[in-house]
Amino acid sequence: MSEDPRWNLLNAPFLIGTLVLAVALVPYHLFHSQALGLELLVAFGMYTVIGLGVTAGYHRLFSHRTYQASWFLRLLLLCLGAASFQNSALRWSSDHRLHHRFVDTDRDPYAIKKGFWHAHWIWVMESKSHPLQGVADLEKDPLLLWQDRHYFLIGAVVACIPLGIGLATHNLWGHFVMGLLFRIVLTHHTTFLINSAAHWFGSRPYTDANTARDNALLAPLTFGEGYHNFHHMWPGDYRNGVRWYQFDSTKWLLIGLSWLGMARNLRRTPAPAIRRAKLAMEEKALRARLAKAAPGVADRLRERLTLAHSRLDQALASFQTNRETRTAEWKASMLERRAELRIAWSEWKAARFLVRRLA
Ligand SMILES: [Zn+2]
Ligand SMILES: [Zn+2]
Predicted local confidence at residue 97, as pLDDT: 97
Same domain, residue pair 260 and 278:
no
Give a yes or no: residue 240 inside a domain: yes
Q: Does residue 4 carry a pLDDT above 60?
A: no
Q: For 222, which DSSP code?
A: T
3-state secondary structure of 86: coil
Give a yes or no: residue 119 inside a domain: yes
Same domain, residue pair 123 and 247:
yes
- Report the 10 Å Cβ neighbour count for 355: 21
Q: Which residues pair with 69 in a beta bridge?
A: 263
Same domain, residue pair 259 and 348:
no
From 264, 298, 326, the end of a domain falls on 264
From 236, 264, 292, the end of a domain falls on 264
- The confidence band for 216, taking pLDDT boundaries of 50, 70 and 90, is very high
Give a yes or no: residue 5 inside a domain: no
Same domain, residue pair 166 and 195:
yes
Which one-letter amino acid corresponds to residue 194?
Answer: I
Predicted local confidence at residue 230, as pLDDT: 98
Predicted local confidence at residue 319, as pLDDT: 83
Give a yes or no: residue 118 inside a domain: yes
Region 305-320: what's the mean pLDDT?
89
Same domain, residue pair 315 and 260:
no
User: Of the bound ligands, which one is closest to the alpha carbon of residue 214?
Assistant: 1
CA 111–ligand 1 middle distance (angstroms): 9
Same domain, residue pair 226 and 126:
yes
Helix orientation angle between 295-325 and 330-358, rounded to the nearest 10 degrees: 160
Same domain, residue pair 20 and 113:
yes
Structural contact between residues 197 and 218, judged by C-beta atoms closer than 8 angstroms: yes
Tell the burial category of 228 from Cβ atoms under 10 Å away from its Cβ (0-12, 13-18, 19+): buried
Beta strands in the chain (DSSP E): 68-69, 263-264
- How far is the CA of 342 from the CAs of 317, 339, 349, in angstroms? 14, 5, 11
- The confidence band for 289, taking pLDDT boundaries of 50, 70 and 90, is confident
Region 302-325: what's the mean pLDDT?
87
Predicted local confidence at residue 3, as pLDDT: 55
Structural contact between residues 112 and 78, judged by C-beta atoms closer than 8 angstroms: no
Task: Give the chain's mean pLDDT.
Answer: 93
Same domain, residue pair 279 and 214:
no
Q: Does residue 323 carry a pLDDT above 80?
A: no
Region 328-357: what's the mean pLDDT?
83
3-state secondary structure of 8: coil
Same domain, residue pair 245 and 332:
no
CA 212–ligand 1 middle distance (angstroms): 6
Q: Does residue 326 carry a pLDDT above 80?
A: no
Predicted local confidence at residue 339, as pLDDT: 84
Predicted local confidence at residue 108, as pLDDT: 94
Predicted local confidence at residue 301, as pLDDT: 87
Give a yes or no: residue 219 inside a domain: yes
Q: What phi and psi values does residue 7 have, to the nearest 5 degrees?
A: -85, 145
3-state secondary structure of 35: coil
Residues 240 and 128: their CA atoms lie apart, in Å, by: 30
Same domain, residue pair 236 and 173:
yes
Predicted local confidence at residue 333, as pLDDT: 76
- Report the 10 Å Cβ neighbour count for 232: 24
Same domain, residue pair 234 and 114:
yes
From 264, 283, 317, the end of a domain falls on 264
- Boundaries of domain holding 327: 271-358
Q: What is the pLDDT of residues 101-122, one digit of tens each?
A: 999 999 999 999 999 999 999 9
- The confidence band for 1, taking pLDDT boundaries of 50, 70 and 90, is very low
Number of domains composing the chain: 2
Q: What is the pLDDT of residues 30-74, one digit of tens each?
A: 999 989 999 999 999 999 999 999 999 999 999 999 999 999 999
CA 192–ligand 1 middle distance (angstroms): 10
User: Of the bound ligands, which one is closest to the alpha carbon of residue 200?
Assistant: 1
Same domain, residue pair 256 and 291:
no
Give a yes or no: residue 4 inside a domain: no
Q: Which residue has the higher pLDDT, 6 or 116?
A: 116
CA 60–ligand 2 middle distance (angstroms): 7
Structural contact between residues 103 and 212, judged by C-beta atoms closer than 8 angstroms: yes
Predicted local confidence at residue 327, as pLDDT: 66
CA 6–ligand 1 middle distance (angstroms): 24
Q: Which residue has the higher pLDDT, 94 or 328?
A: 94
Give a yes or no: residue 21 inside a domain: yes
User: Of the bound ligands, which one is closest to the alpha carbon of residue 97?
Assistant: 2
Q: Which of 271, 193, 194, 267 is nearest to 232 (CA)?
A: 194
Residues 312 and 295: their CA atoms lie apart, in Å, by: 25
Predicted local confidence at residue 228, as pLDDT: 98
Give a yes or no: residue 163 inside a domain: yes
- C-alpha 168: how far from its chain's center? 37
Predicted local confidence at residue 58, as pLDDT: 98
Q: What phi and psi values does residue 264 have, to the nearest 5 degrees?
A: -145, 170
Structural contact between residues 225 and 60, judged by C-beta atoms closer than 8 angstroms: no
